[in-house]
Amino acid sequence: MIPIHSVYIHIPFCQQICHYCDFTKFFYNEQLANDYVDALKKEMSTYVPEKEKKVKTIFIGGGTPTALTVPQLEAVLRHIAETFDLHECEEFTIEANPGDFSKEKVALLSTYGVNRVSLGVQVFDNEMLKTLGRIHTVKDVYDTVSLLQDYGIHNISTDLIYALPNQTVAHFKDSLTKAMNLDLPHLSTYALQIEPKTVFYQRYKKGNLPRPPQEDEVKMYDILKTTAAKNGLYQYEISNFAKQGFESKHNLTYWNNNFYYGFGAGAYGYLPGKRYGNIRPLPAYIKQVNNDGKPVLHVDKIGKKEQIEEEMFLGLRRMEGVSKRQFTDKFGVSMDKIYRPSIEELVQRGWLLEREDQIALSEEGKIVANEVFERFLLDDLVI
């Protein structure tokens, strides 16, 4: 059996629903959260065999994991420690909103081995934070970073969003500068995406969501890359920048197309030969877990064709790109045999760089990455 070394755990509760978010999330309710934590523990215990307990990365995401009370958060962390062997865990991350941490919660993280925090900062502007539906302030960001560092947690990542409603290039540059002044080792930065079933989507459909012009979005991305590099953060993935040694090991699990467990309502997992998604509605998730411990809504078979496509989509998100040699070792067929016409076309258009053993996105290719990825879809696979 192939060992599974990474674990994603979803906590779907939020104190407020952000206007742009389409992840599985629900307003916090203490009793519902208690029931959810019990169900989550049962799901983990059902799925993880004894011989697969060693893990290298754990990521608790949301929602807002830090919306849980201290006893609820401790129950989750304790069960993780009881379910998995954490002695070889290299990275244990929790997502958090600035302002959600008390000293007691941070002490819990330290006690149970959490060594990385991903902060949903989004923007350094109080009025724009309100526009996004965020409840923290810029001061909360500084206070939270200071508190975490006081407890010895220095591996902190900040998330920023750009191309926000009414945002100018100068405004984004100012926000990015403030993020850089924190001198943290990791930065994730994304252009705003308007997703269905969000407040922003409804406003967009009504014409009430003014977006920056596309050329400004491109300028923001260029400023992002230049500013990060000047501050010692190198770009290792389309949207992620880090000091050497502080790359997100858990997210590299996804981009390297490796296997991982997914636990919780709406969570996704990837195991040999299949990708699965859990039930999203909380009452249905809890009921199914209490029934048989297996709240899976659907399972997609991942055959060789799908594995190859995902190897290209995900691998090309990394700046180092995809190794031809590793591709051949993994799939028993050369990349050129399957993709030579696509590679030549993309190189000619200036969207792809080809080296002796690597193909990678060019600077222009990063901007049109989704169009590049489409060229690696396969109608059929004949080897």
Whose CA is closest to 57, among 249, 201, 270?
Answer: 249
Phi, psi (rounded to 5 degrees) for 218: -65, -40
| Per-residue pLDDT, 204 | 67
**Could you list the mean pLDDT of each consecutive 10-residue stretch along the chain, which spans 383 residues?**
87 77 75 96 90 90 92 97 94 95 94 96 94 91 97 96 93 97 97 78 76 92 97 97 98 95 96 95 95 95 94 96 96 95 96 95 94 91 58
Question: What CA–CA distance (Å, rounded) separates 57 from 233?
Answer: 22
Domain 6-255 CATH assignment equals 3.20.20.70 = yes
- Single pTM value for the model: 0.93
| Per-residue pLDDT, 50 | 77
Q: Is 37 exposed, middle or buried (0-12, 13-18, 19+ CB in 10 A)?
A: buried
| Per-residue pLDDT, 76 | 98
Domain 304-374 CATH assignment equals 2.40.110.10 = no
Pairing of strands 240-242, 234-237: antiparallel
Listed by start position, the domains of the chain span: 6-255, 304-374
Q: In the chain, what is the straight-line distance between the N-terminal and C-terminal CA atoms, in Å?
A: 26
Residue 348 CB: number of other CB atoms within 10 A? 9
